[in-house]
Copies of this chain bind each other. A is one copy, B any other.
Amino acid sequence: MNRVTIKDVANRAGVSKTTVSHVLNKTRAVEETTRAKVLQAIEELGYRPSQVARSLISKRTKTAGLLISDVSNPFYPDVILGVEEVAFAEDYSIFLCNTNYDLERGLKLVQSLVDKSVDGILFMSSSMSLQMVKEAVENQIHVVVLDWEDSNLQDMASTITINFESGIQQAVRHLVESGHQRIAHISGPLNLWTAQVRRNAFLKALEQNGLDPQQAVIIEGDLRIEGGRKAFDQLNQISPRPTAVVAANDLMALGVLWAARNAGLELPRDLSVVGLDDIDLASKVSPSLSTVALPRREIGKMAMRILLDMIREGKEATKAQVTVDTTFVLRQSTQRVR
């Protein structure tokens, strides 16, 4: 009634553990008849090799950690699916860890992953610290970091950088060409790296399109629908009210959209709104949301591929540095100013 081990198989097949191991891993020639006996014994006993025992020797667990901020942020599900898609193909399993935007909790999660000897960690939480990465790297665990930078990072981890500038620049240009002059930005919490990057990209885009970044209205939100609503309330106080707003994510953009409608504005006539992420919902609401799209699933796949490469290469694996572009998707929530 206990676990069937390689020894049981060996006994049943009348061979040594060594032989069983070799037929299992095809790691040396075995006579066809013995091979058959072994295979049959395996079948009869329902034997499954213990990954744990294997890991002890191979120093590989075929597991990886995925650190995110919070699964309920609709940015993540597609990324996760992408990660899982390539992980599954290589028989890797993924530990999902939510930091809840808490650095301390993040560190604990990393330590737990280290203890479990994951082969690698994908850092995709927007709450990041160098310490987390160090903790992993010092324990020979490969690391891929998404959308975060630190001067000490280069030699420790592969990085995937999201080029927000491309998409946001397209969005702003579209707005300006549509006659908008007063364009506001609703940022994420500015203690988050990614929120700063997006805001800077926005300011740069203004400049590139002949608007004065100094004059720009920037409201700090919480990346959630509610934050968008509140931001609209503030926006609505300003006179003259901005005619367009670029939000740091789709959730806040939807918040703006809905709050504006509740306030009696007609959209997009009275206010053009641009989101960022292109979550599923963006195309499903009405008016559908114009947004700066991220290839989320691709990002997930890419991250896991890079990680697997590093694992294969081993200790001195070269660190990749990839950039993914964003693109503006025009839908119904933006319109020429009248």
Contacts and interface: CB of A to CB of B under 8 A. Distances in A.
A281 B250 CA distance: 13
B72 A81 contact: yes
A196 interface: no
A49 B97 CA distance: 21
Interface residues of A, number: 59
- Copies of this chain: 2
A195 to B, nearest CB: 21
Interface stretch (A20-28, A87-95, A178-186, A304-312): A87-95
A253 interface: no
Nearest to A49: B115
A78 interface: yes
Contact of A258 (B53, B138, B262, B284): B284
A138 B45 CA distance: 12
Contact of A52 (B84, B109, B117): B117
Interface string A31-62: 00000000000000010111111011001011
Contacts of A170: none
A49 B116 CA distance: 9
Given A225-B284, A284-B225, A96 B117 contact: no
Contact of A93 (B62, B113, B139): B113
A93 B116 contact: yes
Contact of A96 (B59, B80, B258): B80
Nearest to A261: B286
Interface string A266-289: 000000000000001100111000
A72 B116 contact: no
B48 A115 contact: yes
A108 B111 CA distance: 29
Nearest to A229: B284
Contacts of A52: 52, 55-56, 61, 116-117
A112 interface: yes
B116 A63 contact: yes
A77 B81 contact: no
A96 B46 CA distance: 26
Given A72-B280, A93-B97, A116-B93, A139 B63 contact: no
A261 B284 CA distance: 13
Report the 3 A-B pairs with minimum CB-CB distance, sorted nearest first. Answer: A72-B77, A96-B96, A71-B77
Given A93-B95, A95-B95, 15 more contacts: A48-B139, A49-B115, A51-B115, A52-B56, A52-B117, A53-B56, A72-B77, A72-B280, A80-B98, A84-B97, A88-B108, A88-B109, A91-B112, A93-B113, A93-B116
Interface of A: 3, 46, 48-53, 55-56, 59, 61-63, 65-66, 70-72, 74, 76-78, 80-81, 84, 88, 91, 93-98, 105, 108-109, 111-117, 138-140, 225-226, 254-255, 258, 261-262, 280-281, 284-286
